[in-house]
Amino acid sequence: MIQLDHITWKTGDRVILADVTIAIPSNTYAVLMGSTGCGKTTLLEILCGLRSPTSGRVLLDNVDVTDLEPRERGIGYVPQDLALFPGLRVREQIGFAPKLRGVPPEELNLRVNRLAEQFGIVPLLDRLPDMLSGGEKQRVALARALAAQPKLLLLDEPLSALDESMRAEAVTLLQRVQSEHSLTVLHVTHSSSEAAALGHLHLRMAGGRLEVGW
């Protein structure tokens, strides 16, 4: 379960997040909507530890992780631009987290191949990010995040760069990934149709406050 406990974030005199309190149960696909610049990305960054809140606490499964480093939180993060590592092949991108954790080479290969099969990117394993389409990059970024075996996945407008036909396919993929990996997902989007198709829980951010419902 994710709990945000009275989270506030200010920059100068400007309040971006004002006393945000919410609980997202485990295995829930939560969708967060809101206008551009309302603080959705800031909220994701606070959750995964890339930004410290001005005040308040972040709890994961009732453990206070507010002061923990991003690497200690077990959270997967897929930013809007997908942020694939330049110069690393798809195989190395997916194997990045397991390799860091000292997973033996045989098991590493197994894990990379299993994820590549699941995401339909086996033929792309030896390609560099520059040689991938938007949809392929999105699959690689998801596989890379899941290779770290996170309990929680944060997605920041992951489908915004895809065209309409690919978006429908990606929605199905995300639903499958969430159920197969028993993940808690917080997905930021501007698309109402995407939110309707994916969300078990709908959140809306406005004026720095977070509300449940459309």
Partner 1 sequence: MTFNRSNLCWLALGLITASYLLFWAFLLGATATYSTPDSWLKVLMSPEIRHATWLSLVTCSLAAGFALLLAVPVGYLMSRREFRGKSWLDAALDIPIILPPLVVGLCLLIFFQTKIGKVIEMAIPFTYQLSGVVLAQFVVAAAFAIRTMRGTFQHLSARPEDVALTLGCTRFQALWHVALPAARRGMVAAFCIAWARSLGEFGPILVFAGATRMKTEVLPTTVWLELSVGNLEAAVAVSLFMVALAVLVLVAVRATGEKV
Long-range contacts from 95-98, C-beta under 8 angstroms, 24+ separation: 95/147, 96/144, 96/147, 97/144, 97/147, 97/148, 98/147, 98/148
Q: How many CA atoms lie within 13 A of 40 on its CB side?
A: 24
| Residue placing its CB nearer to partner 1 in the complex, 75 or 201 | 75
* Stretch 131-190 residues interacting with partner 1 (CB under 8 A): 144-145, 148
In the complex, least distance from residue 19 CB atom to partner 1, rounded to whole angstroms: 25
Smallest gap, in angstroms, from Cβ of residue 11 to partner 1? Answer: 11
The answer to whether the CB of 174 falls within 8 A of the CB of 207 is: no
User: CA distances (Å), 20 to each of 54, 152, 181, in order?
Assistant: 12, 19, 28
Q: Does 130 bind partner 1 (CB under 8 A)?
A: no
Residues 64-83 that bind partner 1 (CB under 8 A): 69-71, 73, 75-79, 81, 83
Among 15, 18, 50, 166, binds partner 1 (CB under 8 A): 50
List residues near partner 1 by CB under 8 A: 45, 48-50, 69-71, 73, 75-79, 81, 83-88, 96-97, 100-101, 144-145, 148
